[in-house]
Structure 1
Amino acid sequence: MADSSNKEDIVQLIKRFGAFLTVKISNLFHAVDSRSIGAIAGLAFAIVFTWRLLRSPSGPQRRQPKRQASAPSSSGISNQSNANLTSPGVCSASEDSSAQNVIDEFFQPVKPTVGQIVRQRLREGRKVTCQLLGIILEESSAEELQKQATVRSSVLEVLLEITKFCDLYLMETVLDDESEKKVLLALEDAGVFTSGGLVKDKVLFCSTETGRTSFVRQLEPDWHVDTNFEISSQLARFIKYQLYISSVKPERSAANVYSSPSLEQFFGSLTAA
């Protein structure tokens, strides 16, 4: 009778585990990138490990307690009987908790890397043009560049990931040659050219906003990033995607013009607007 009861308990536990596992697998494949092979390997390991965990206690449960040579007192018999009745339930609850902990550990949502987010947000676009002022640089005007050029530290990680995946061109409107030198030196000091994906020849300078628009039209990128809404609107007819950087979201824009307070915030989440 004890063996039959234990088998039924194990069968019920496996059924509950199977139902739970089905839900977890469904959630996993909705949350994880299809190329996340590590998550699939973790799933297989979790199944094998949990199955062994469920099987291991079955042996000792079949052992009968060793009989005492002398007859115990009625109080002892009662205590021993109560212990035998409650022990399987305690073990079952412990096994359920252990299995649950193992499953929860292996099925934690897999956080995508910055590189994965960049690829998904850019919709596999392979060429990007980007304005420097107010996006890559702290400065927001050509007049400020005459004094100094400072790369925004918060944008560096995203910028370097873009250079690994895309053909990136940076461009800006400047007032003199000294401003160009300051910009190139700031980018070099920030390590932008060390990754191999961006070279100084791909940092372009012009004297007017029209010149920047002309650069983008000639390069024909998949994405252009700019702080000038007029430029983004004009290019929307010719360039597949636009990213308008501004703290204020425009009331109206073309369907292929996206907006974000900063470049790094645009890549901050897969569900970002």
Structure 2
Amino acid sequence: MAENPKDELLQLVKRVSAYLTFKMSNLFTIIFQKVDPLSVGALAGLAIAIVFTWKIFPSAPQRRQPKRQPPRASSSSVNLQTNATLESSGAASASSEDLSAQDVVDDFFQPVKPTLAQIVRQKLCEGRKVTCRLLGVVLEETNPEELQKKATVRSSVLEVLLEVTKFCDLYLMERVLDDDSEKRVLLALEEAGIFTSGGLIKDKVLFCSTETGRASFVRQLEPDWHIESNSEVISQLARFIKYQLHISPSRPERLASNVFYSTSLEHFFGCV
């Protein structure tokens, strides 16, 4: 069996030490014979110092071999299997909980739909006085000749009109050909319940015999908004009224920057 490298190094050191001791003794013998006692003492001290240094000189430290760690594949696999089991078992419940939480968040941050009252205020730009033509806007009929036979309030516009009366000082006006037409219009408005809200009274329903007369009514009242279906009246009032809403089945040419367009009054307020 091969000797340990440490033992071989120790044997080598002993041989060198014995050889040096032998040589030093011979040297001392020669020196004792040829030099004076003072030199002998100095040399002896030097020799002792050399031997002492050799004895106490530390050998090179041995590098320690790192201990091999036993493989822990089994424990790792166990941990992985355990984690996989936990994840799979909790996946369904966590998924359902996440979906429920997301639904709550979505419902909470869902934009709130504005009410009709808020839309009316926004669309009318906080206007406080409004004038409105009846034919083609509030009534199904579109010309004075039809009013000689009947007057019908459009059911789709009723809710918007009642909301406007709550917020604004509303005046309704129309050109009629006879007194009977005027009576038919007032009766139709009353039966529709427009006067029951308290915002509109019969005295605020105005009648005239010409289109120019209706335009004159509007200028005298000085409303913030005028709602009209006749493009000629719209053009006449563009310089005098702050805002106008032109009601027309088809999009007309815009007559001024303060004139807006819609197919109906309820469509303008987003009710259809």
TM-score, length of structure 1 as denominator length: 0.67
Question: C-alpha separation between the residues in 2 aligned to 1:128 and 1:227?
Answer: 15
Cα distance, 1:116 vs structure 2:
1.0
Cα distance, 1:94 vs structure 2:
3.3
Paired letter, 2:234: S
Question: C-alpha separation between the residues in 1 aligned to 2:126 and 2:189?
Answer: 26
Paired letter, 2:101: A
Spell out, residue by residue over 1:47-103, the C-alpha distance to the aligned partner (whole angstroms, 9 max, x if none).
xxxxxxxxxxxxxxxxxxxxxxxxxxxxxx998775334334444433322211110
Alignment of 1:29-68 (within 5 A): none
Aligned to 2:233: 231
Paired letter, 1:129: T
1:217 aligns with 2:219: yes
Question: C-alpha separation between the residues in 1 aligned to 2:188 and 2:233?
Answer: 26
Q: Is the 8 A contact 1:233 1:257 kept in 2?
A: no
Question: C-alpha separation between the residues in 1 aligned to 2:139 and 2:175?
Answer: 13
1:98 aligns with 2:100: yes
SS in 2 for 1:115: helix
Cα distance, 1:137 vs structure 2:
0.5
Q: Is the 8 A contact 1:243 1:260 kept in 2?
A: yes
Alignment of 1:258-273 (within 5 A): 258-268=260-270
Moved over 6 A (4+): 77-81
Paired letter, 1:84: L
Paired letter, 2:205: V
Spell out, residue by residue over 1:3-55, the C-alpha distance to the aligned partner (whole angstroms, 9 max, x if none).
xxxxxxxxxxxxxxxxxxxxxxxxxxxxxxxxxxxxxxxxxxxxxxxxxxxxx
Spell out, residue by residue over 1:140-160, the C-alpha distance to the aligned partner (whole angstroms, 9 max, x if none).
111110111100001001000
Question: C-alpha separation between the residues in 2 aligned to 1:180 and 1:91?
Answer: 71
Paired letter, 2:225: W
Unaligned 5+ runs, structure 2: 1-78
Identity of aligned residues (%): 71
Spell out, residue by residue over 1:184-240, the C-alpha distance to the aligned partner (whole angstroms, 9 max, x if none).
000000000000000000000000001000000000000001111111111110100
Paired letter, 2:159: E
Aligned to 2:184: 182
In the alignment of these two chains, the number of paired residues is 194
Paired letter, 2:112: V
SS in 2 for 1:158: helix
Spell out, residue by residue over 1:100-141, the C-alpha distance to the aligned partner (whole angstroms, 9 max, x if none).
111012222211111111111101101000000011001111
TM-score, length of structure 2 as denominator length: 0.67
| Root-mean-square deviation over aligned CA pairs | 2.1
Q: Is the 8 A contact 1:226 1:244 kept in 2?
A: yes
Question: C-alpha separation between the residues in 2 aligned to 1:81 and 1:245?
Answer: 69
Among 151, 162, 165, the alignment partner of 2:167 is 165
Q: Is the 8 A contact 1:139 1:145 kept in 2?
A: yes
Question: C-alpha separation between the residues in 2 aligned to 1:138 and 1:101?
Answer: 45
Paired letter, 1:203: V
Q: Is the 8 A contact 2:152 2:188 kept in 1?
A: yes
Paired letter, 2:103: N
Structure of greater Rg: 2
Unaligned 5+ runs, structure 1: 1-76
